[in-house]
Structure formats: structure tokens, C-alpha cells
Structure 1
Amino acid sequence: MNINSSSLSVIVPVYKAEKYLRRCVDSILAQTYRNFELILIDDGSPDNSGSICDEYMQKDKRVKVFHQENQGVSSSRNLGIEQAQGEWITFIDSDDWVDADFLEKFQIENAEPDTFTIQGFTFNFENHPDKDFLFSYYKGCKFPISSDKEIAQYDILRNGYPFAKLYHKAKLQQYHIRFNTAISIHEDHAFVWEYLCHTENIKLVQSSSYHYEKKEGESLSNKNYPSATWLAASESLLASLSILQAKCHLEGTHYLKETYTSYGLEQTMKAIYCINRTNYQQVVSSARGKYLLFSQFFLTKTPKQKIVLYLLKQKWSNRLLFFFIHLSNILSTNLRIGSHNTEKTRPL
């Protein structure tokens, strides 16, 4: 096979992955669909990941390896896009693996540039296989992106994982769709949504051949990010969502409110939770600028959120507003700690 004639480029960002990397790469090289190149991006791994990548490149001509100083997963994926020679691109994470029919399920020979092909996948819990479950196991179907019922029925906008999807390289180049290296949270979702903005049809594949490894103790809610990070993620998501709500004909739907709440406005709310004396001007101004969106789409779930929205509505100075929001954050934290301690000391 002439590697330059590959129909598909499989991009795998690699960082501190020596424990899982062989499982991942072996599963890709064992695919029943053979006309692909495998691009491994070693993002300055301090372990043996880079050497393992080079080892596979020596053994299989389909494997290409690129080494760079550590710049993050978004930079790695972007480098993979630039180096890809295939007409189509798919992403696989280095700690995940795929069944032998994963690439074949995309049916590359029938793929169309204006159609976004999406597979379901399996959540595999490290050390707890009893918890494994199928995520978005779709029935095979195709529909225009303007079909609001199907968009909501299959929850398309909430599936922001970049893997188990097929991207057209020319479209990525034409619209310069890349992972935003300026944000470190929800950058995957922003990338998928930007691609959706330039898509006309959705094709869902009845497959769960991709296995996403959920690590022990891994949770986005356990990570702390500064307000600026949350705001940057919010801006990126809202920019695409403002286009998709019209493109998908979602105006007036509850699904649109759910999506705005979870992906765009919730991030601004979390920025408010991280407010302090050095950033309150930026955070409050940004949140007030989104108040119309909050009033139209945000589904409040907690008393704290209701208090914050009430305070944003008031025509107070940013300094006074900061004082009350900061106070509500302190009270909320104390109440949560008190409730937790009560649970721990409750007699059996």
C-alpha cells in the first residue's frame, strides 16, 4: 500500500501513556479496514511513550511519529491535522482502544464531505468493568442538521467528544477548524460544535466499537480552574451555539435551554464562583453582558444560582455586586461543609 494514498488519517495525541499505549496502537493496527495512516503525536512525554511510538513506526509503515515539546492535547491534535495525508480524519485517545471493526464502521467509501458521521462508544471504567455502559448507542440513520427533533432525540449537541467521529480534512482546512489552544476545558466540545456549524447532514452509525477508558477518580468537577479559563470556555461555546440554534431550528425548544445551560452559561456561572478582588471587574462585566441569555435560556437548579442571577439583575456597581456574590459564595461553602459534617457525625 502506498501510504500517500491513504483514505483516512487516525490521529493519536500521546502524553504519559506508556501504561495504555500498546493496547491502543495494537487495536488500531488490527483494524479490518486497512487503508489508513496512524499519526502518533508525542507531546513531550517524560515516560517511555515517545520510544514506544518510535518502535511502532519501525515495525509498520502506516505509522508516522511526530515529537514536540509539551504543549497540550489541543496542540497535539492540531499538529496531527496539519500532518494528515488522508482525505478523512478521526481521533483516538492514547489510553482508549477500539474493536477491529471500528474504522470499517465509518464506511469511508460512501462518506460525503457535508455529512458528519458519528459512532456511539462504550464507557469502560478502569478496575470496575461492572460499571461499563454504552454511550449514545445509535440506531443507523441519516438526517439533515436542520431536523430539530432528531438533534434533540439523539442529543447531538451534548456529544462533544472528538473521538468516534469522522472529519473531512478539506473542510477542516477550508474553515480553519482547530482545537483552541487558549482554553483547557471544553475545547473538545468547541471543536465539534465548530465543525457542526459547517455541516449539512448527520449520519449515526450503530456501533460502540470505541472504548473510552474512564480513569479511577477522574472527574471534571474535581478540577479547579480560574475564572478566566471558565470565561474563555463560555465564550467559545456560545459563539458556536448562537449559530447552531438557528441551523438546527432549535428556537423555542427545551433542548436548547438545556444545551445553553450546560454548555455556555454554566461556565460563566462557575467563573462567578471563582470571583475574587483581582478579577471581579472582568467576571461581573462578562456575566452581566450575558444576562439576556441567562434570562432566556438558563435553567436554575440551585438556590445559589438563583441568588447570583438576582444579583446580576440589580443595577449595582461591580464592586457592590462582587461583595454580595462573594458573600453568597462563602455562605454556600459553609452550608455545604456544615451539611457534610452533619452527615459524618450522624448516629447510626
Structure 2
Amino acid sequence: MNPTLPSLSVIVPVYKAEKYLPRCIDSLLAQTFKDFELLLIDDGSPDRSGNICDAYARKDPRVRVFHQPNRGVSSSRNLGIEQARAEWVTFVDSDDWVEADFLAQFRLEEAEPDTFILQGFTHNYEQHPEKDFRFGDYKGCVFPLSSGEDVARYDLLQNGYPFAKLYHKEKLQRHAIRFNTAISIHEDHAFVWDYLCQVTRIRLVESVSYHYEKKVGESLSNKTYPPSVWLAASDSLLDGLSILASRCHLTDSHYLKEVYTAYGLEQIMQALYHMDASNYRDVIASAQKRTPLFDQYFLPRTPRQKLVLYLLKQRWGSQPLWLFIHLSHKLFSR
């Protein structure tokens, strides 16, 4: 460790965040743990976010600002990783905020490269505080990644948020672990899983000092993506999950089904829902290749899913399949 460098790099991707950015930065600069640098990555923000970043850099030497043309949050986080000077890295989103003990809770003096350290967080609803809840309200423990019972007990594989976690910079570099800029959904989950594949132990921290802000109208279900985006996300998630299922020695079949359904197979379902006359052949062919996984792991939760899965298994041509799946969409969207 170089004593002239900070021990922790905090990376904050910034885009159109002028309303929340000062709260985020102020909360980080007020940390009881002081030995960190704050990297603000301005992703071509069209508002005043870039100016706000520069103003904080002029006031506090711990703040470093990088401006780039708009390339997306994954590119911003990757730039932060490349520019980080510390041994350890963590991420904070620009519209979130943290309590004063957030960084101290990682206990860097005890951190080891092969141990992945995770905190829980508080899920805040911007205009409905009565809905606030704690995610991953851990009691504090350490266990090997190979302990499938603990992985399932703490629902580790469904915690794919990149924030409130501590990453070893050298491990990120050695294994070329980066956010996949080729996909625009679930890329954060894939990143966390890639990192999980390179550690041997998990330490869960009894802290919910990170505050994740849920904005009004902010929901993946409110966005529309073409089938290619859903399929690319599915491929990335399923590749990582096949490795983790083995490394974690998961024997809880129901837990495996829950994870496979939510992160890999549901994305294929979404691709089927959104296909059209220009792409249905490729989408159906991709989905049919995954039929064994659907048979083994998929948990259909709606009549629509059951019908689409039934249709997918029929030995019809791709055009009749598309037409019937399209009709099912019309039927269940009424």
C-alpha cells in the first residue's frame, strides 16, 4: 500500500443529477472515515451537474472530476475504475446519499482481497416515505462462497446492486472485470456476479447507511427495449449464473429456480413479448435453445407466462408461434 495515496476510491457516475447531486456529495464529504478520494464522472450532463462537480473539486482536494461525452452509466463507472488510485473501490449513485458512517462500516483495516464485503441499504421512496424499507438488513457474518446454504439464506445472488459493496482494485484489473457497455439492462447485476466469481469469502455488514432513492415513475417495467437488448442481458446473466451455481454449491433447488427465473429466463420472456415481424425468427430460435433451462428452472407466475411457455415448446414453425404468442400478448394486456 502506498501511504501517499488514499486507501479508498469512491466512484460516482453523474448524469442529469443537479437536483440531487449536492446532497450526495455533501454526504460523502461528511464521512467519519477520511482516507478516500471522490471521483465524479460527468457523463456529458446537459444540466448544471458538470459545473457542480467542478465547484466541489475547487473546494476539496479529495474530489477529482472527469468529463466525458455521454456514453452511459456503465462507461462512467468503468472510467472511474481506470482512474481510481486506491487499493479499494466502492460506488455511489449521484441521486442517492449516505450516512456519515457509511465508509467506516467497511472496516478497511480488516478487508482482504478474497473477501467480498457487502452492506445492506435503505430503500427510500421519494414521495412515499411510508413505503421505505431495508434491503439486506444483515446481522453481520462471514462465510465461504461455497456455502450454498448461506448464499441462499441471505439471498446473495439477487443482490445485484453495485453500490454498498467493496471491490479490490487489483482484482478488478487482473480479471478485467468491467461493466458491460454492450448491454443496457442488468449490466450492474452481471458486474457483481463477475466479481463474485473471483472471491472465496463473503462478509455481510450490519449496516443500512446507504440510502437508495426511488424516484417517481422510475421503473424498469415502464421502459421498452427491443428483443436484442433482453436477449443480450439474458446471455450475460445465464453465463455468470452457471458458474456461480457451481462455485456456491447451491443445493436449494427452489432458490436456484427463483434466481434463474428472475435473472436470465424472465429476460427471454420479455424478448418474446416484444418481438415483431422483423425479428421473431431470431428471438424464437434463441428462446428454444434455452428450453432445457425453462424446463428445469423456470417458475411461471402468471397465466400469460404459462401459455407462452407452452407455445414455445410446440413443434410449429416460427411464424405460427409468433402469431400465437402475439395473440397471447393481446389477450393478457386487455
Asked if Structure 1 and Structure 2 have the same fold, meaning a TM-score greater than 0.5 normalized by the shorter chain, the answer is yes
* Cα deviation, residue 128, structure 1: 2.2
Q: Look up the match of 1:189.
A: 189
Whole-angstrom CA distance in 2 between matches of 1:128 and 1:33:
31
Structure 1, 51-60 or 305-314: larger mean CA deviation? 305-314
Structure 1, 313-322 or 114-123: larger mean CA deviation? 313-322
Output one character per residue of 1:233-283: Cα deviation in whole Å (capped at 9) or x when no partner: 101100100001111111452100000000100000010001111011110
Q: Look up the match of 2:242.
A: 242
Whole-angstrom CA distance in 2 between matches of 1:327 and 1:217:
28
* Cα deviation, residue 127, structure 1: 2.4
Asked if structure 2 preserves the Cα contact closer than 8 Å seen for 1:3 and 1:61, the reply is no
Structure 1 SS opposite 2:95 = coil
Structure 2 SS opposite 1:5 = coil
Residues 1:35 and 2:4 aligned together: no
Q: Look up the match of 1:78.
A: 78
Q: Look up the match of 1:109.
A: 109
Whole-angstrom CA distance in 2 between matches of 1:141 and 1:181:
34
Whole-angstrom CA distance in 2 between matches of 1:320 and 1:266:
22
Residues 1:141 and 2:141 aligned together: yes
Whole-angstrom CA distance in 2 between matches of 1:298 and 1:41:
39
Structure 2 SS opposite 1:142 = strand
For 1:8, the aligned partner's letter is L
Q: Look up the match of 1:257.
A: 257
Whole-angstrom CA distance in 2 between matches of 1:125 and 1:220:
16
Q: Where in structure 2 are the equivalents of 1:216-227 lying within 5 Å? A: 216-227=216-227
Asked if structure 1 preserves the Cα contact closer than 8 Å seen for 2:152 and 2:252, the reply is no
TM-score (norm 1): 0.94
* Cα deviation, residue 62, structure 1: 0.6
Asked if structure 1 preserves the Cα contact closer than 8 Å seen for 2:149 and 2:252, the reply is no
Residues 1:305 and 2:278 aligned together: no
Whole-angstrom CA distance in 1 between matches of 2:133 and 2:313:
42
Whole-angstrom CA distance in 2 between matches of 1:188 and 1:245:
19
Asked if structure 2 preserves the Cα contact closer than 8 Å seen for 1:32 and 1:101, the reply is yes
* Cα deviation, residue 324, structure 1: 1.7
Asked if structure 2 preserves the Cα contact closer than 8 Å seen for 1:3 and 1:62, the reply is no
* Cα deviation, residue 332, structure 1: 2.0
Aligned CA distance change for structure 1 residues 304 and 127 (closer, same or farther; 3 Å): closer
For 1:75, the aligned partner's letter is S
Residues 1:64 and 2:59 aligned together: no
* Cα deviation, residue 303, structure 1: 1.6
Output one character per residue of 1:188-224: Cα deviation in whole Å (capped at 9) or x when no partner: 1111011111111110000010001111121111111
Whole-angstrom CA distance in 2 between matches of 1:269 and 1:22:
40
* Cα deviation, residue 145, structure 1: 0.7
Structure 1 SS opposite 2:283 = helix
Q: Look up the match of 2:13.
A: 13
Whole-angstrom CA distance in 1 between matches of 2:195 and 2:312:
33
Output one character per residue of 1:91-144: Cα deviation in whole Å (capped at 9) or x when no partner: 000010101110000011110111000000001111222222111110110000
Asked if structure 2 preserves the Cα contact closer than 8 Å seen for 1:4 and 1:85, the reply is no
Give the length in aligned residue pairs.
333
TM-score (norm 2): 0.97
Residues 1:174 and 2:160 aligned together: no
Two-structure CA RMSD over aligned residues (Å): 1.2
Q: Where in structure 2 are the equivalents of 1:248-327 lying within 5 Å? A: 248-251=248-251, 253-327=253-327
Structure 1, 149-158 or 309-318: larger mean CA deviation? 309-318
Structure 1 SS opposite 2:143 = strand
Structure 2 unaligned residues grouped into runs of 5+: none
